[in-house]
Amino acid sequence: MSIPGMNQTGAGEPAPTAMHKHWERLRGVLLDTVLPPVVVGGLLLLLWELLSTQSGSTLPPPSRVVADTRELIVHPFYNHGGNDVGMGWQILASLERVAYGYLLAVIAGISLGVLVGKSTWAMRGLDPIFQVLRTVPPLAWLPISLAAFQASNPSAIFVIFITAIWPIIINTSVGVRNIPEDYQNVARVLRLNGWENFTRIMLPAAAPYVFSGLRIGIGLSWLAIVAAEMLIGGIGIGFFIWDAWNASMISDIVLALIYVGIVGFLLDRLVALLGRLVTRGTAV
């Protein structure tokens, strides 16, 4: 007699519970991670709005920025020829330069890092040079690279390369030097050859270090590109900002800064995610 009733509750209950739990978790995420930045951001916007609507204010309030840049926001990929292209194209142009410079830095940086990590002689010879060169500010490299390449685009790529390479070299060499002796013993017992040892033992063992270098490198790259592009001109988010300043379009600058920030954040997260995927199990 009571069995049908029990069956009913038995069949009916799990679904609402699961949905309830799901909702609970979603609410937790909303409360913990979404709500605080939204509240604080909203307050800051309000403060900005209040401050810059005062008479004599030199910067536009957020409402003006949105009104002025509506066209740029809704049409990120217009192309009117020359430098007059949408924000999407500007950012992609910058990203392209970063991609070239950064990838070259990754290849050269990891190779040099392994060399310095493996060979004591290379470390003694190269490390002091690296320590001096890495303190040179990115933009200081621009004139000399313009002189060398005689063209603006390769120069900008070189600046990215030279900016991103130092943390990659240094972290890779530390990672390679810290590979536990036991892993090397495994390689020796198995008689892995140089290439196998490199790909099967050294790279994975050093990967957590390498990726922290890569992450610092991508951040520095994005910092450097904006500055470098201001000087070399052409298409790119850096020159867009400089151009907007010359045309006194302060709202455009504000919008560009927001985009630069968001892209930089995404690049950092992308490399971090890549690192997590590659170093599964190793990063302790």
Tell me: does residue 196 bind other proteins (CB under 8 A).
yes
Closer to other proteins by Cβ: residue 71 or 182 = 182
Task: Count the residues of the shown chain that bind other proteins, applying the rule CB under 8 A.
Answer: 22
CA–CA gap between residue 241 and residue 222 (Å, rounded): 14
Shortest Cβ 212–other proteins spacing (Å): 16
Tell me: does residue 204 bind other proteins (CB under 8 A).
yes
- CA dihedral for 124, 130, 131, 132, sign (positive or negative): positive
Q: Which stretch binds other proteins (CB under 8 A): 102-110, 111-119, 129-137, 201-209?
A: 201-209
Closest CA to 69 of 257, 263, 261, 223: 257
What amino acid occupies position 239? Answer: F
Tell me: does residue 190 bind other proteins (CB under 8 A).
yes
Shortest Cβ 209–other proteins spacing (Å): 13
Spatial neighbors of 252 by CB under 8 A, at least 6 apart, are 68, 69, 72, 240, 241, 244
One of 108, 115, 122, 186 touching other proteins (CB under 8 A): 186
Half-sphere exposure of 69 (CA within 13 A, CB side): 24
Q: Residues 73 to 92: which contact other proteins by CB under 8 A?
A: none
- Binding mask 23-62 toward other proteins (x if CB under 8 A, else -) reads ----------------------------------------
* Whether the Cβ atoms of residue 228 and residue 138 lie closer than 8 Å to each other: yes
CA–CA gap between residue 280 and residue 208 (Å, rounded): 9
* Whether the Cβ atoms of residue 254 and residue 273 lie closer than 8 Å to each other: no
Tokens of 222: 């994005």
Shortest Cβ 182–other proteins spacing (Å): 4
Tell me: does residue 272 bind other proteins (CB under 8 A).
no
Tell me: does residue 200 bind other proteins (CB under 8 A).
yes
Closer to other proteins by Cβ: residue 147 or 284 = 284
Longest distance between any two alpha carbons in the chain, whole Å: 93
Q: Which residues bind other proteins (CB under 8 A)?
A: 180-183, 185-186, 188-192, 196, 200-201, 204-205, 207, 279-282, 284
